Structure 1
Amino acid sequence: TRVMVTHMRNGRSVTVTINDRGPFVKDRIIDLSYAAARILKMVDEGVAWVRVEVLSPPYGRGPAGRLYAVQVGAFALRMNALRLRERLKARYDNVYITVLKTRESRYWRVRVGPFPSRLRAEETAGRLAREGFDVIIVPH
């Protein structure tokens, strides 16, 4: 099962694949790899409050295929991406930010999704466009 894990204190998110049944510690819902914990900036904390959202069912239990997202903005300034994400979260549950790193700079991309089909992504893209956003559908 693919899930998105969001650190509740800092808002950072990472997508991971669950590959076992743990954790086996009371009051914990997921153990993360070191790489995932680094992305969430929680290595020093060790344990953090997170939200876990299912992105795709376990293999063999749902339609195969790719996932799609709707990109609503791309920014050279992280703060602008954070502002847009907060604005969108008032109306959409599944808003996240990805970072594109180039040799010269970084771009923070605000997306809504993922969606299990292009059709579902197009429906949300249409709604966002009616709200005045310039959108594109991208692979998740």
Structure 2
Amino acid sequence: MKRLLLLFSFHFLLTVSFAQVQTGKASFYADKFEGSPTASGEKYKHSKFTAAHKSLPFGTRVKVTNLANNEEVEVVINDRGPYVENRVIDLSKSAAERLGFVNQGLAEVRIEVLDAGDGKTSDPAKTIDHVLVEEKEFYDFEISRLNPKGYGVQIGTYQELVNLMRLSENLKNSYKKKVTVQVKIMNGVKYYGLIIGQFPTRPKAEQFRDNLRKKFPDAFIVEYDKI
């Protein structure tokens, strides 16, 4: 039986997250999004304590503290966003009410990871984790640490390394762009963020992201210096 040998370069951006704390501005979902599907496949419900974050895996449980009044709430990440400059999390309306900033619209908050999620969505069609790997399939690694500049487009966050290798090779062949992997460790669990491209400006990255949206609707912009 003929063996399949796949050779490709695999570049890692080694960013290890030990202190899972982030500060910044929080917003909350408008009422018009009630019942709309989130990036995880779940429907948004304002009565549930959920939130959107740009990079934390789906299912991650975080504590959010309003720095103005020290009110706290625990939420589960099930969506991507917010896609507004300088905002770090988008909360369900009930979570915003618990923190006491509905009338203000925005709040300065601290986010602390309590439990890392598994990164899975509730709708298998929305994830690329289910990749079948044939027997006797080989991969050759050319690994180098990077210090990239500018902007990239993150496709998703994965746990299974073999799925990441297959997808990485397909992306490089399809889009002719450098593929970077950001390694994160949260509560002792490794996660791999798959990022395409190194663009000098945000508009160029946004143009490429828009081209990806049909195949990867959850793709979002990352700035290498800030991840």
Q: CA deviation at 1:120?
A: 0.7
From the superposition, tell whether residues 134 and 11 of structure 1 become closer, same or farther in structure 2 (CA, over 3 Å): farther
Instruction: Name the SS of the counterpart of 2:168 in structure 1.
Output: helix
List runs of 5+ in structure 1 lacking aligned partners: 17-54, 56-65
The higher radius of gyration belongs to 2
Ranges of 4+ aligned residues in structure 1 off by more than 3 Å: none
2:157 alignment partner, one of 74, 92, 108: 74
From the superposition, tell whether residues 6 and 84 of structure 1 become closer, same or farther in structure 2 (CA, over 3 Å): closer
Corresponding residue for residue 13 of structure 1? 144
Q: Tell me, yes or no, if structure 1 residue 113 matches structure 2 residue 197.
A: yes
CA contact (8 A) 1:69 1:114 kept: yes
Separation in 2, partners of 1:116, 1:137: 12
Kindly report which structure 2 residues correspond to 1:24-103, keeping only aligned pairs within 5 A, or say none. 67-92=150-175, 93-103=177-187
Q: Tell me, yes or no, if structure 1 residue 124 matches structure 2 residue 208.
A: yes
Q: Tell me, yes or no, if structure 1 residue 136 matches structure 2 residue 226.
A: no
Calculate percent identity across the aligned residue pairs.
29
Separation in 2, partners of 1:99, 1:70: 15
Separation in 1, partners of 2:216, 2:192: 20
Separation in 2, partners of 1:6, 1:137: 19
Separation in 1, partners of 2:160, 2:214: 25
From the superposition, tell whether residues 128 and 101 of structure 1 become closer, same or farther in structure 2 (CA, over 3 Å): same
Separation in 1, partners of 2:217, 2:204: 17
TM-score (normalizing by structure 1)? 0.54
CA contact (8 A) 1:73 1:81 kept: no
- CA RMSD of superposed structures (Å): 2.6
TM-score (normalizing by structure 2)? 0.35
Q: CA deviation at 1:6?
A: 5.0
CA contact (8 A) 2:158 2:193 kept: yes
Separation in 2, partners of 1:13, 1:109: 16
